[in-house]
Amino acid sequence: MEETAREMTLSGLAALLPGLDPSCGPVRLVAVDGHAGSGKTTLAGRLAERLGGAPVVHTDDLATHEEPFAWTGRLAGQVLGPLSLGRTAEHEVYDWTRRRFASRREVPAAPVVLLEGVGAGRAATRPHLALVLWLEVGRDEARRRGLLRDGPELAHFWTGWTRAEDAHFAVDPTRPYADLLVSQTAGGDGYTAVPGAAARAAATRRGDRP
C-alpha cells in the first residue's frame, strides 16, 4: 500500500480509499477506530461526505448495554455477509434509551463503506477490512471530551463503558494493527494521517522505505 507511506490530509485520505483493493466482496470496508469520545463519528462523517455520501456503519448501533463489545455476530450476519455478496445489507439498530433493538438501517454495497466505532478494527473484522484508521486521541483526553459532550448525568455510564473498553483493548488492541494514525490539526482540513505500525511493517516486508 504505497499510498500510506507518506503523511496525508483528509482530502488525500478520501482520495486514497476508492483505489484500495476490495476487501468484502466488491466493497472496500474501512474501519475508523479509537477511544470513546475521540471523534470517530465526526471523522467518519467527514470522510463519507468527501466520498459523495459513503455509507457509515456505527458499531454503537450493533452493541447493547449488556454486551458493549459482543456485536461481531450481528456485524457478520447482518452486514458483512450481504456486502460480501454485493447485496444491500440491513442491520438492527439498538436504541440506547429504550434499551432494545428498535429499528433497522440499510447499508448499500457501495465502493467504500466506513465501519466506525470502538473496536471497529478488532481482530474479528480485520480479514474483511481494506484499511484500519486509528484516531490519535489519548484515552483520558477522549474520556474528558466524551463527558463534556454527554453531560454529568451520563458520568456513571462512562465509568462502566471505560472499564469495558479498557478490558477489550487489553486483549484485542487495534492501534498496533492500524494502517494509518489520524491526528486532528488546527490548520488545513482538520486532520493529518501518517503510517501506523501495520503500514510500516508491510513497507519493510516489501523492502520499501517506511
Distance of CA 9 to the CA centre of its chain: 18
Length of the chain equals 210
The whole-number pLDDT of residue 14 equals 96
Query: Do 135 and 185 touch, CB atoms closer than 8 A?
Result: no
Is the pLDDT confidence value at 99 over 70? yes
Question: Average pLDDT of 151-163?
Answer: 78
Q: What integer pLDDT is reported at residue 201 of this predicted model?
A: 62
Is it the case that residue 3 has pLDDT exceeding 60?
no
CA–CA separation, 33 vs 115, rounded Å?
8
Question: What pLDDT score was predicted for residue 4?
Answer: 45
Instruction: Tell whether the model's pLDDT for residue 7 goes beyond 90.
Output: no
> Residue 97 and residue 16: Cα distance in Å, rounded?
37
More confident site: 5 or 138: 138
**What pLDDT shows up at residue 153?**
75
**Which of 72-81, 143-152, 156-165 is modeled with the greatest confidence?**
72-81
Q: Which residue has the cell 447485496?
A: 87
Indicate the pTM of the whole model: 0.90
What is the pLDDT confidence band of residue 157, given thresholds at 50, 70 and 90?
confident
Q: What are phi and psi of 76, to 5 degrees?
A: -65, -45
pLDDT confidence of residue 200: 61
2, pLDDT greater than 60:
no
Mean pLDDT rounded to a whole number for the chain? 90
Sheet holding 8-9, edge to edge: 8-9, 191-195, 180-184, 131-135, 28-33, 112-116, 56-58
* Among the ranges given (69-78, 125-134, 154-163), the one the predictor scored with the smallest mean pLDDT: 154-163
For 182, the 3-state DSSP assignment is strand
pLDDT, tens digit (0-9, with 9 covering 90-100), for 39-79: 999 999 999 999 999 999 999 999 999 999 999 999 999 99
Q: When comparing pLDDT for 209 and 129, which is higher?
A: 129
164-209: per-residue pLDDT in tens?
999 999 999 999 999 999 999 887 789 999 999 776 665 554 455 5
Q: Residue 107: enclosing H or E segment and its boundaries?
A: strand 100-107
DSSP bridge partners of 63:
none
β-strand partners of 195: 180
Q: What are the chain's domains?
A: 2-203 (3.40.50.300)
